[in-house]
Structure 1
Amino acid sequence: MSPKRQREEGSTAEGDKGDKGQKPQKEEVAHPRKRFYRARAHSNPLNDASFDVPTRPEDYDWSEHYPELMAEWRERQAAAGAAAAAAGGAGAEGAASGAEEAPAVRFVDIGCGFGGLLIKLATHYPDTLMLGMEIRDKVTAYVRERIAALRRESPGSYRNAAVLRTNAMKYLPNFFRKGQLTKMFFLFPDPHFKAANHRRRIINTQLLTEYAHLLAPGGWLYTISDVPELGEWMKSKLDGHPLFERVSEEELERDVAAGLLALSSEEGQKVARNGGATYRNVYRRLAQPRPQE
């Protein structure tokens, strides 16, 4: 046998011995790259783009977005049904009255962009279903792939986060019932500087009434902007609405979500890099309207 062949076979054998004591390497998960999903910064929410929306919230199947959680819920329902059937009669009625409600979305990030806030919220609130809503198709596709990659990389995590492409200014009531939500986020929305386009702003009196309908009493509505005029606009609209009251700075210091507003999103990080200021306004949904002056 030639010396060269002896060296090659010897190194192979030594490698086999070393491999036996090594742990299997963790599979690398490919994450989507933003440069392949770039789109215009903003989209006109009043255009006539067609979206597939349910007639009412009860008609929408959330299994596509939260497959593991919905499958587990169905298994529990089946087990409870089997136990009730075995108990018979009164036992079945008791089981039916105490049936577990289906998991429901509680947090919504309107105009979620590339999903920075959504991803951070998912780890801080692992037992809460949350949804990002985005009107741009490429950006929505990026967030969807990002969440899928994170789920593969960390099994059991991020299964409470999902994204949906739709027009939130038009179709929120098609997806959520009255009082379903506990947190709504509006991070760095389009300022629509021209006065003729102010009706496109995501925070206005009419839409705030809709948000109040969907928020549970005590629920929080979060806004932040790097545009002083828009920050003041949102503050004035919320101050003037009878179903919202401003959350104190002391409460905000103790709130995890409030601390994520400025730096979780791509837009917020860009503002920070440029040394810009931000204007944060967070409000609580009141159970009863405030007396009007």
Structure 2
Amino acid sequence: MEVDDSSKPPVKLPQKRFYRQRAHSNPIADHSFDYPVRPDDYDWSQHYPTIGDRRVEFADIGCGYGGFLVTLGELYPEKFALGMEIRVKVSDYVMDRIEALRKLHEGKYGNIACIRTNAMKYLVNYFRKGQLEKMFFLYPDPHFKKAKHKWRIINAALLSEYSYVLRAGGLIYTVTDVKDLHEWMCAHITRHPSFERLSDAEVKEDILSEKLLDSSEEGKKVTRNNGDKFVAIFRRI
């Protein structure tokens, strides 16, 4: 017997105005998170119905409202990408957005997911050594005050963790509209022995180079405001 679904409300994408939250969150504060003791303890099938024995290979750190994460899902249908977002309402929005997209487009977007967590503290709880192929840091919080520079998502200590979870040849992508932060990130990553910066020609050849600028909601905002955008990509040696 066929089921009449005509009485069910149509699936709609969530609206950001119902998920508003302050732009920044203190990554050092004690937030309440559930996280695995080790990567082997985590059940990825709760986020990716078809993942099986495969693993997440892309990590969008501070994924915001998920615009770039959705782009990753579309460009790399055979890869599993994870958005990691610390803000409660923002991560709720991304989760609801992905759920709606899956219902609207049967068979698509099963390769992207979002979790609320603090990547500065718990990254290695989720990913094994050399697991990731790509990591993205798009428009991270600049933490302008010098006393808060230690909160920046790119720093010497965290880069050692990023080099641990990235495979040889894996890439770190950085984008910001703040020149000082761009110079900070480039200086710290270049000084780290595990990374080398891609040349301008290599950046231009990367399929994601243009997507980095405008796929995210923050990138679109910068474009509307005629702001500058600074891009740098680094290879795990």
TM-score of the pair, normalised by structure 2: 0.95
Q: Which amino acid aligns with 2:235?
A: R
Q: Which has the larger radius of gyration?
A: 1
Structure 2 unaligned spans of 5+: 1-5
Partner residue, 1:54: 36
Q: Judge conservation of contact 1:43–1:136 (CA < 8 Å) in 2.
A: yes
- Deviation, 1:29, is 2.2
1:147 is matched with which residue?
98
Indicate the SS of the match to 2:57: strand
Hey, what does 2:3 align to over in structure 1? Answer: none
Q: Does 1:33 align with 2:10?
A: no
Q: 2: CA distance between counterparts of 1:50 and 1:140?
A: 14
Deviation of the 1:196 alpha carbon: 0.7
* Partner residue of 1:164 out of 106, 109, 115: 115
CA distance in 2, matches of 1:122, 1:257: 12
Q: Give, as a single letter, the amino acid of the residue that structure 1 aligns with 2:38.
A: R
Task: Write the distance in 1 (CA, Å) between the matches of 2:130 and 2:121.
Answer: 18
Q: Tell me the residue number matched to 2:59.
A: 108
Encode CA deviations 1:161-195: one digit per residue, 9 max, x unaligned: 00000000000000000000000000001111111
SS at structure 2 position matched to 1:108: strand
Alignment partner, residue 45 of structure 1: 27
Deviation at 1:28, TM superposition (A): 4.3
2:163 aligned to 212, 235, 256, which one? 212
- Which residue of structure 2 lines up, in the alignment, with residue 133 of structure 1? 84
- Measured against aligned partners, the alpha-carbon deviations of 1:83-104 in whole angstroms (never above 9, x if no partner) come to xxxxxxxxxxxxxxxxxxx110
Q: How does 1:215-230 map to 2 (within 5 A)?
A: 215-230=166-181
Structure with bigger helix share is 1
* Amino acid of the structure 1 residue aligned with 2:213: A
CA shift, 1:51, in A, is 0.6
**What SS does the aligned partner of 2:173 have?**
strand
1:218 match: secondary structure: strand
Superposed displacement of residue 258, structure 1: 2.3
Unaligned runs of 5+ in 1: 1-23, 74-101, 287-293
Shift of 1:254: 2.1
Q: In the TM superposition, what whole-angstrom CA distance separates every residue of 1:14-69 from its partner, at most 9, and x where no partner exists?
A: xxxxxxxxxx9xx94211000000101010000011211111000000111002x1
Measure the CA separation in 2 of the matches of 1:251 and 1:231.
18
What secondary structure sits across from 2:213 in the alignment?
Answer: coil
Whose relative contact order is higher, 1 or 2, with alpha carbons under 8 Å and at least 6 apart? Answer: 2
Q: Deviations over 1:230-254 (max 9, x none)?
A: 0100010011111100112222222
Distance between the aligned counterparts of 2:200 and 2:117, measured in 1? 33
Q: Secondary structure at the match of 2:210?
A: helix
1:19 corresponding residue in structure 2: none
- Which residue in 1 is equivalent to 2:209? 258
Alignment check: 8 A CA contact 1:28 1:153 kept: no
Shift of the alpha carbon at 1:153? 0.8
TM-superposition CA deviations, 1:134-154 (whole Å, max 9, x none): 001100110001001111111
How do 1:112-123 and structure 2 match up within 5 A?
A: 112-123=63-74
Show structure 1 runs of 4+ deviating over 2 A.
Answer: none
1:242: which partner in 2? Answer: 193
Show CA shifts across 1:99-123 (max 9, x none): xxx1100000000000000001101
Question: TM-score w.r.t. structure 1 length?
Answer: 0.77
User: Partners of 2:19 and 2:200 in 1: how far apart?
Assistant: 37
Identity of aligned residues (%): 56
- Paired with 1:180 and 1:143, the residues of 2 have a C-alpha distance of 24
SS at match of 2:168: strand
Which whole-Å CA distance do the structure 1 matches of 2:235 and 2:209 have between them? 13
177, 193, 197: which is aligned to 2:148?
197
Mapped to 2, the partners of 1:181 and 1:62 lie a distance apart of 15
Q: Secondary structure at the match of 1:52?
A: coil
